[in-house]
Amino acid sequence: MSKETKELPGTALSEKDISQKKVLYTEWDPKLMWAWDTGVGYGRYFAELKKGKIIGTRCNKCHRVLLPARAFCEWCFRPVDEWVYLKDTGVVNTFSIAYTDWVARRIKVPQIPALIEVDGSDGVGIMHLLSEVDPENVKIGMKVKAVWKPVKEREGAITDIKYWKPI
């Protein structure tokens, strides 16, 4: 604002003017719904998460264990050969410290998203959150273990693991 301008032109409106219907308005609430079928690989992967287990698939040509589980090996371009149960421990591949939530609101306690290489898998890793750790002490290569939701709260999603904590 320049020195000459003391007040910006316009009509100030508050939340109350709208909630008490003092001004007329139109609303816009588009229904942009989607549904995504998990398919064979991810379907079993999520079903096993509900049971508290992490499952991957093995390709016998490149000898990799893929996590999250997939039906196809994208290196060899062939169907995978078997299901492999993995431990719920791993290593931090990379991480970030976020002071905003996903709609860009400030948060005081940061979230620590991390890429976790689960022990026994040969993929890049899975994206998840770290907790029970001081943000300053997080290191690449740190060993971590999954903290699961109680059985009743699980719904067959990656969020059935609440977060990963250092061991």
Partner 1 sequence: MPVDKITLVTQAKPYYGGLSSKYGEALLKTPEPGLYGQYTYGIAGEKFFRNIKDNAKITGAKCQRCNLIYVPPRIYCERCFDALEEWCEVENKGEIYTYTLSWVDLDGARLKEPVIIALVKFDGVYGGLVHRVSEVDVEKVSIGMKVAAVFKRKEQREGSILDIRYFKPV
Binding site for partner 1 (CB under 8 A): 11, 13, 18, 23-41, 43-44, 46-47, 57, 71, 79-83, 101-103, 156-157
CB of 31 to partner 1, least distance (A): 5
Which residue carries 């898998």 as its tokens?
121
Return d(Cα 85, Cα 110) in angstroms, integer: 32
CB of 111 to partner 1, least distance (A): 14
CB of 112 to partner 1, least distance (A): 20
Q: Which one, 39 or 110, has the nearer CB to partner 1?
A: 39
Q: Which one, 76 or 140, has the nearer CB to partner 1?
A: 76
Cβ pair 83, 105 in contact under 8 A: no
Q: Which one, 81 or 132, has the nearer CB to partner 1?
A: 81
CB of 42 to partner 1, least distance (A): 8
Rg (CA), the chain: 23
Closest of 151, 85, 148, 149 to residue 118, by C-alpha: 85
Q: Which one, 18 or 62, has the nearer CB to partner 1?
A: 18
Q: Which residues pair with 49 in a beta bridge?
A: none
The residues, ordered by sequence, that sit 6+ positions from 41 with a Cβ below 8 Å of its Cβ are: 57, 68, 69, 70, 71, 72, 80
